[in-house]
Amino acid sequence: MPRLALLITTLALACAELSSPVEWRDARARDADALPGRLALRGDSVAFVADTLAAGVTLPAGACPRSARVAWSGASGVERYVVWWAPRPDSSAALMSARSVDGGRSWAPAEPVDTVDRSTVGCERPAPTVAADSASGYVHVAYSMRAPEGTGVFFSHSMEHGHMYHSPVAIMYGDALREVDVASLGDTVAVAFVQPTRTRSELGVALSRTMGHIFEDRVTVPASGDATDPAVALAPGRIAVAWVQRAPESTPVLLTRIGARPAPTTTR
């Protein structure tokens, strides 16, 4: 779908009050100034998994330092995907991806995910995020950038194991670059993001039940003001989010919430 059509659709969604198709539990809080790892759902509780995959990745020369994010496909982790920002001389950047089939020892040639960024911030931008689905071969990427039609949070995916990424979907437009995270489980994709406006920093979640082709629901997580460092995880019938809440003259707090996702309806 052309970006202009995406803009019209997304502006209509952004102007409406975000719906709430998730039944959230009370938030759990503890003092922390950063996420302790990748968010995961373990039964009815959340966990954080040490994320060391990006540590051994050598990015191409000139890539933005600390922008690499890695996902693996399948339990073995042999098939891996990395995404990163590649800055250009005018301080805009291209979003790139590469695939490894030997556990990260070697990487295929880089593939462009999105190349239309028009910002002038160089590498001073939030890192992209990536999730991979071993059953479908889909690779899901979420990121924040300044596109020709506006600044916002975007999503793109590949249906061919990282070969060729499809036209981006706009999650939400605003006026600021914000942190994002993405998770997938079967047909469901969730993108967690700090809302990309300078006046609101609440945590939002966009949900797709169609492998990221469209995002049917957008949710504001309750009591998530002053959010940074979003994280999201999925399990059958459940979703978990985490974020660090920062407020002036207050100690940063790590917050987590679990929500119930209604089963998708089917038509005959």
Domain ranges of the chain: 3-260
pLDDT confidence of residue 268:
35
Say which residues have a Cβ less than 8 Å from residue 25's Cβ, sequence separation at least 6.
257, 258, 259
- Name the amino acid, one letter, at 153: V
Q: Nearest-5° angle of CA 251, CA 255, CA 260? A: 165
Better-scored residue on pLDDT, 264 or 230: 230
How far are the Cα atoms of 25, 46, 75 from residue 28, in angstroms, in the given order? 9, 10, 29
- Name the amino acid, one letter, at 189: V
Better-scored residue on pLDDT, 266 or 78: 78
Whether the per-residue pLDDT at 187 is higher than 80: the answer is yes
Q: Name the fold adopted by 3-260.
A: Neuraminidase (2.120.10)
Helix (H, G, I), strand (E, B) or coil at 149: coil
> What is the enclosing helix (H) or strand (E) of 11?
helix 3-15
Using one digit for the tens of pLDDT, what is the confidence trace for 111-141? 999 999 999 999 999 999 999 998 888 999 9
Helix (H, G, I), strand (E, B) or coil at 53: helix
Q: What is the mean pLDDT of the chain?
A: 89
Q: Which residue has the tokens 């462009």?
A: 112
Question: Which letter does DSSP use for residue 21 in this model?
Answer: -
User: For the chain, percent helix, then strand, then coil, each to nearest 5?
Assistant: 5, 45, 50
Better-scored residue on pLDDT, 233 or 104: 233
pLDDT confidence of residue 6:
47
CB 222 within 8 A of CB 188: no
Whether the per-residue pLDDT at 4 is higher than 90: the answer is no
Helix (H, G, I), strand (E, B) or coil at 185: strand
The average pLDDT across 53-81 equals 88
CB 138 within 8 A of CB 184: yes
Residue 20 confidence class, pLDDT cut points 50, 70, 90: low
Among 17-26, 145-154, 157-166, 209-218, the minimum mean pLDDT is found in 17-26
Name the range with the highest mean pLDDT among 50-59, 188-197, 255-264: 188-197
